[in-house]
Structure 1
Amino acid sequence: MPTQNQSLLDALNACVAACEHCATACLQEDDVKMMVGCIRLDRDCADICALTARFVARDSAHAQHLLKECAEICKACGDECEKHGAHMQHCQECAVACRRCEEACRAGLAA
């Protein structure tokens, strides 16, 4: 597997893990209602990253479509997590993973 694909897969998988962790941690916050948008985006982002990783790994002709969507959802999730990152470490870590994944997806599109 080319090194570029491996770094993309690493970013996708790291984002899945960060989003799953963030969603779980958000559910344990005192004001869960305030975190609903974050939880939803975390779940969407984790799912699209996992699916995209599978398509990239199998070198699917449709991976490019998913990379575009994945970059958009990673951006939205990163934006939402940044709103809470000042007082929630899990959101801060998730935002960083989302930004890295967004960049990796955009680089994959350009390749």
Structure 2
Amino acid sequence: MTQHAEACLETSVSCIEAFNTCFSRCLKEQAHHDLSGCIRLDRECADICELAVKAMQTDSPFMKQICALCADVCEACGTECQKDDHNHCQACAKSYFACADECRKMAA
């Protein structure tokens, strides 16, 4: 596995972990309906990260396209999470942006 693939794989797994934290904490917030955009995109991001991880692990012929899509979704999720002041949303956004950067490198 290449250095880019290893870095992308690691950040994708970290992104999934950040999603799980953000998702569950957003649901516990009193005004979780205000966080519905963040919650929805967290789920989207986790799904595409899981697909990217599988694509890299199996050396899929579509790996670059999947990683490019993963980067776009992570960027959108990071932008949404960044809007919320909660620490878990800010941490999640940071993880999403790191994943987007590594996925773009992988897709190049």
**What residue ranges of structure 2 are gaps of 5+ in the alignment?**
none
TM-score with structure 2 setting the length: 0.96
Tell me, in whole angstroms, the C-alpha distance in 2 between the residues paired with 1:71 and 1:89: 22
Deviation at 1:4, TM superposition (A): 2.1
The equivalent of 1:105 in structure 2 is 103
Q: Secondary structure at the match of 1:27?
A: helix
The question of whether the paired residues in 1 share the 8 Å contact of 2:63 and 2:107 is answered with no
What residue number does 2:50 align with? 50
- Residue type matched to 1:55 in 2? A
Code of the residue aligned with 2:102 in structure 1: it is A
How far apart are residue 94 of structure 1 and its match?
0.3
Cross-structure match for 1:88: 86
Deviation at 1:30, TM superposition (A): 0.7
Identical-pair percentage? 38
Length-normalised TM-score, structure 1: 0.94
The count of corresponding residues between Structure 1 and Structure 2 is 108
Q: How does 1:1-111 map to 2 (within 5 A)?
A: 1-84=1-84, 87-110=85-108
RMSD, aligned CA: 0.8
Gaps of 5+ in 1: none
1:26-84 residue CA offsets vs partner (Å, 9 max, x unmatched): 00001011011100000000110011111011111011121111111101100001000
How far off is 1:6 after superposition? 1.0
CA–CA distance in 1 between the matches of 2:82 and 2:62? 30
Query: For each residue in 1:69-109, what CA deviation from the matched residue of structure 2 results, as whole angstroms up to 9, or x when unmatched?
Result: 1111101100001000xx31100100000000000011011
The runs of at least 4 aligned residues of structure 1 exceeding 3 Å deviation read none
Q: Distance in 2 between matches of 1:44 and 1:20?
A: 12
